Structure 1
Amino acid sequence: MTVGTENTQSATPLKAEIDAYLTALFTKVSAAPLPDLPSILISGAVRCGKTKVARRVSLRGGYYHLRTDEIRNQTYLDAPESEKRRIAKYVFRRILLQFPKGVLIEGTGLMDAPCELPVWADRRGIAFFAIGYSFDTPQAKQRDLLAYRAENTCWTKQRKSDEEMLRFARRLIRRSTDIKRYCAAEGLPYFDLDSSRFDAERARIVREIERMVKKRHMEQARAGNLSGLIARLKLWP
């Protein structure tokens, strides 16, 4: 069974269900007051503040906020493992082609292998940002994680011992380092977030994202005005 790309015309049962979900989602998003700003993707390593940053950016900018976990649960969670990447590619591209402006999508699923979506989106004027934690020791990250879950609801509280949290911190740093290298190679923005200063770091990253999105919006507006001017000049006798 093949889902295909945005141009696929096949109609398998699973594709029909996915398209029905997307149609309903598009109707819901279209009914919301969307800002005239480039859509945004926020991804990166787990437990690095992506969701809190995304919520703040979407609230301040008026974006319609979508989470990859929710989209996955509705479209490809129960699909065969061999089809999940194909379905994710189809779903996320459909959403972004429909809403190149006004939507913010956040989650680790945006960077699932083979990690084509960030570059695909960036080339179409959609802003991509990654957040990670690549610069400190596993022990420092473990300390921050334990401090956070001591005062907040956290999925790790019932599932991971302190030793498991240290191993988790090591994996997080390795993953963040890989993401940082990927972003550097592709010319995409990456932010290291110091979780020992979480609130201040979150505010810093929110400001940087807003600044970069505003800059991209202004560049797109200038490019659009220039295209319009050239088109009008061609009509002159």
Structure 2
Amino acid sequence: MTSNHLVIAVDGPSGSGKSSVSRAVADRLGVGYLDTGAMYRAVTWWCLEEGVELEDRDAVAAAARDIPLEMGTDPTHASVLVRGLEIEDAIRTTRVSEVVSKVATNTKVRPILQEQQRELMDRIATQTGGVVAEGRDITTVVAPHADVRVLLTASVEARLRRRSKELHGEAHDEAVEATRDQIVRRDADDSTVSQFTQAADGVHLVDTSDLDFEQSVEAVLTVVRKEAAHKVDA
């Protein structure tokens, strides 16, 4: 990536708002967007469709190399295609969510997707003048030299409420409890292979527990303006 390209890396746990906030930041800056978590979900979906046993680490790694995956980069329109088939909705189903950690914690898969992510980030930045990439290990492994690195976090309670509203349309106690395992267990599983609970050196921590959506977006943009003022006009 040349010095003219703005590269923003955003990590965070489930329900922290990193996807929606990252999309909004990319949109306001007029740059491309990459959802790296969707790539792990896509490989999971592909394995389920193709009958690949998720416990077979080598077979899943082969699937990660071979999947005919196309990632949308427009922050206003999430898109994930496999063989031309739109699977954005399919990869968000409970069927995938319950087992995606088996792929995300596969240490043979991660280097394959991480390299693909670096290549995608470079291509997106070249095409659009910049990229906002979000996931679990973007600030530390995939793009440790990004212009701006942010760890977006929130309390467990805030994250459960947000994900409950997203999945169930409401955040009463029953809905929150129905979401708890998906949030807490997946974070625990994924933290065995990537560090996204504490900000690494040089990574800005943005806690959105008490922020609404617009405040969260502005908090990240404030960091961007501070760290990469010469590359932004937002």
User: TM-score category by the smaller chain?
Assistant: 0.5 to 0.7
How far apart, CA to CA, are the structure 2 residues paired with 1:51 and 1:169?
15
Name the counterpart of 2:226.
212
1:153 corresponds, among 148, 166, 169, to: 166
CA contact (8 A) 1:42 1:54 kept: yes
Q: How many residues align?
A: 162
Percent identity between matched residues is 17
Q: CA deviation at 1:73?
A: 4.8
How far apart, CA to CA, are the structure 1 residues paired with 2:130 and 2:208?
25
Q: CA deviation at 1:191?
A: 0.9
Residues 75 and 103 (structure 1), Cα distance of their counterparts in 2 relative to 1, 3 Å cut:
farther
In structure 1, the residue corresponding to 2:133 is in which secondary structure?
A: strand
In structure 2, the residue corresponding to 1:197 is in which secondary structure?
A: coil
Residues 182 and 89 (structure 1), Cα distance of their counterparts in 2 relative to 1, 3 Å cut:
same
Alignment of 1:84-233 (within 5 A): 84-98=109-123, 99=125, 101-108=129-136, 110=138, 115-119=140-144, 122=145, 125-133=146-154, 138=156, 141=157, 145-146=160-161, 148=162, 152-154=165-167, 162-163=176-177, 165=179, 179=196, 181-183=198-200, 186-194=201-209, 196-215=210-229, 217=231
Structure 1 letter corresponding to 2:13: A
Is there any run of 5+ residues in structure 1 with no aligned partner, and where? 1-35, 219-237
1:55 aligns with 2:55: no
Q: CA deviation at 1:116?
A: 2.0
Q: Which has the higher contact order (CA 8 A, sep 6+)?
A: 2
Residues 162-215 of structure 1 deviation map (CA, whole Å, 9 limit, x = unaligned): 44556677679987xx635342xx221121112x43235314323323313533
Normalized against structure 1, the TM-score is what? 0.52
Residues 201 and 37 (structure 1), Cα distance of their counterparts in 2 relative to 1, 3 Å cut:
same
CA contact (8 A) 1:41 1:104 kept: yes
Q: Mark the structure with the bigger radius of gyration.
A: 1
Normalized against structure 2, the TM-score is what? 0.52
How far apart, CA to CA, are the structure 2 residues paired with 1:109 and 1:182?
11
Please state which structure has a larger fraction of its residues in helix: 1
